[in-house]
Structure 1
Amino acid sequence: MTASALELQPAPRSVPGSEPSRRPVRIWLYTLALLVVGMVALGGATRLTGSGLSITEWRPVTGMVPPLSAADWAAEFDKYRDTPQYRILNQGLGLADFKVLYWWEWAHRQLGRFVGLAFFLPFAWFWWRGDLSRRLLLGLLGLGLLGALQGTVGWIMVASGLQPGMTAVAPLKLAIHLTLASLILAGLVWLAAGIRPAAVSPLASARLRRTALALPVLVLLQIFLGGLVAGSRAGLVYNTWPSMDGMLVPPADVLFAVRPMIENFIDNHALVQLNHRLVAYLLLAVALLHALDARLTLGAGGAARRAAGIAGLALAQAGLGIATLLLAVPLHAALTHQVFAMAVLVMAVVHARLAYGVRAPLRGRPEAAVPFGYEGLAAHHA
């Protein structure tokens, strides 16, 4: 074959499912997971600084460009001064202070756009190269749709805070927005943990597998309830523990004072905070019992150590939550509590995924593992 003929040969493409193609995909998924955690952290800072309503329009493309002139800033400030939040809470706010609010929200939206690009561009590349198995492809398509839904819900949430009489976004919409971000994070980690370079056998105990799967579900529920607490500002009341201002459980006429009754689960500070406390106790109890069960059933193997680690994370998160409450929700404590919840979720998802086993790669040469979280404890779990 001549040199010119060789030059015309196409470059060899990766074989679907092969190890050389899976490692970059795995790194990409975990990078996306870190970006989502950053998005959650920045979103929390935006909420806690009251910046979320400073941009009153949803412009997915043109909104990338911030105000560049004094006239542009004046126009944006005029739009904000027409909002209920300005008229009720921030009357007299100056342009300099408005810019601080604006930059927080702009950075949050800009990071969201970047996450979208960081998902879709590599996704298209890996798909074109044939690096995605059918199962992984379907999972990623689902996450892409979930990400599009998340952006829409984010604007619906902001729009709820621009309605007459509103000074913040609706608590339920905030909780849904936070939970969707957490679901995306969980999905990314689940997919990444499922494409390890070596097989992992499922746990022999069906009870341990079910409990391992229950842990991330409980964490997601607790994150949703935390979103309700944040959205309704329920953390600013009952700043005592373990009692709620001297009562372990407030009386029924306090817990269900709002009509219709269903609204108490969203807007009643006492019930919203109580629910968040109760699920925290449940999550901690399940994590501790699961760790003990894994230790007694499996000995000192990797799965038992992962379970113990999750119990330790849950205990630390509970301590952070108590400290945040007692300190009346300062910015640094609230942000730490929110971001640490993502760490608990990530490790719980990794543990659950490995508990159900990972199949061996179909073909290709072995590759070095890309360690993340508790994945290094995958071996010797039984």
Structure 2
Amino acid sequence: MLNINNLNKNNTYISIWLYLSLFLVSSLIFIGGLTRLTESGLSITNWEILSGILPPLTEKKWEEYFSLYKKIPQYKEINFGMSLAEFKYIFWWEYIHRILARLASLVFILPFIYFLIKKLLTFKQIVLYSIISFLFFFQGFLGWYMVKSGLISKTDVSHFRLSIHLLGAQIILSLIFFSILFRNVKKIHLNINSYLIIFFLILVYLQIVIGAFVSGLDAAKIYQTWPLMNGHFVPEDVFIKEFSDAKSYSSPSHVQFLHRVIAYFIILI
């Protein structure tokens, strides 16, 4: 009876851990979206893994961060003349995003190490949770890789890097979600419906990537009517054959059209 009670208790702890991780990653994606919408992502121009845990605590430190921001194109070309108070507003969004990313990583990785030491996980769970732990670390690198693209010659980040960063977060979220869903399933049987669901999920992930393109290119501003785009299903400046050319994925019109078409396929499925 004692062993059964301990087993149930351990399963409860693991469930709480996974659900908490799921909540934190979901919150991280939400805050990341707000950081994007408020154009705050470039407010912190360096990657301070440890020292960046604490926010600026003195006026001098605030001025240091602000002076670094003044050196990048976004300030010079878009936010020139911004006050320190306005800078603090965008700084806090990016700071919260980075702190939440650290918190989500620690909340997942530290309990995983504990459960690993206590031998409470199956081999498959160890492999899966090790992959997720690696992805948490790699996601931090991807975030900085994305930010760097907007610090030198552009006023915004690369939409390609933005999409990779967002997709990475979605993959982490999905892996945690499915680990909860199938944790007590011994064997998964695939049928025609299963393959349809897999195809549906692939389309959803693709839509997320193209959605990041739309956001990164401000492509939503090009055509603001539905269901037609300036009176046409295929707008006049979009040529289907051009989708074989990588340059078309940097065209706001092409990207918005593709985003709409994928949405129609998702609805049909």
1:118 aligns with 2:103: no
What are the residue-to-residue correspondences of 1:126-205 with 2, within 5 Å?
A: 126-164=115-153, 166-196=154-184
Q: 1:269: how far off?
A: 0.6
Preserved contact between residue 22 and residue 195 of structure 1 (Cα < 8 Å): no
Deviations 1:107-131 (A, max 9, x none): 0000001011101111111112211
Deviations 1:320-353 (A, max 9, x none): xxxxxxxxxxxxxxxxxxxxxxxxxxxxxxxxxx
1:138 and 1:201 map into 2 onto residues whose CA distance is 16
Deviations 1:1-27 (A, max 9, x none): xxxxxxxxxxx88999x5442232122
Q: 1:220: how far off?
A: 1.1
Distance 1:87 1:255, change over 3 A: farther
2:239 and 2:89 map into 1 onto residues whose CA distance is 38
Corresponding residue SS for 1:239: coil
Distance 1:268 1:128, change over 3 A: same
Q: 1:257: how far off?
A: 11
Give the TM-score, by structure 2 length: 0.93
Q: 1:255: how far off?
A: 4.5
1:184 is aligned with what amino acid? I
Give the total of aligned pairs: 268
1:245 aligns with 2:245: no
Deviations 1:222-270 (A, max 9, x none): 111111111111111200000011110023x544899x931211x1011
Corresponding residue SS for 1:117: helix
2:3 and 2:102 map into 1 onto residues whose CA distance is 30
Distance 1:238 1:78, change over 3 A: same
2:228 is aligned with what amino acid? S
Distance 1:50 1:255, change over 3 A: farther
1:149 and 1:201 map into 2 onto residues whose CA distance is 30
- Segments of 5+ residues of structure 1 without an aligned counterpart are 1-11, 287-382
Distance 1:160 1:188, change over 3 A: same
- Equivalent position to 1:61, from 41, 50, 63: 50
- Equivalent position to 1:207, from 162, 171, 192: 192
In the other structure, the counterpart of 1:30 is: 19
**Larger-Rg structure:** 1
Runs of 4+ in 1 over 6 A off after TM superposition: 12-16
Q: 1:285: how far off?
A: 0.8
1:182 is aligned with what amino acid? Q
2:144 and 2:212 map into 1 onto residues whose CA distance is 16
1:86 aligns with 2:78: no
Aligned sequence identity (%): 35
Deviations 1:186-222 (A, max 9, x none): 00011111124xx58856x711121122222221111
In the other structure, the counterpart of 1:284 is: 267
- Segments of 5+ residues of structure 2 without an aligned counterpart are none
2:217 and 2:260 map into 1 onto residues whose CA distance is 15
2:241 and 2:186 map into 1 onto residues whose CA distance is 52
In the other structure, the counterpart of 1:230 is: 215
Give the TM-score, by structure 1 length: 0.66
2:145 is aligned with what amino acid? I
Deviations 1:43-87 (A, max 9, x none): 010011010000000011110111111111111111001110000
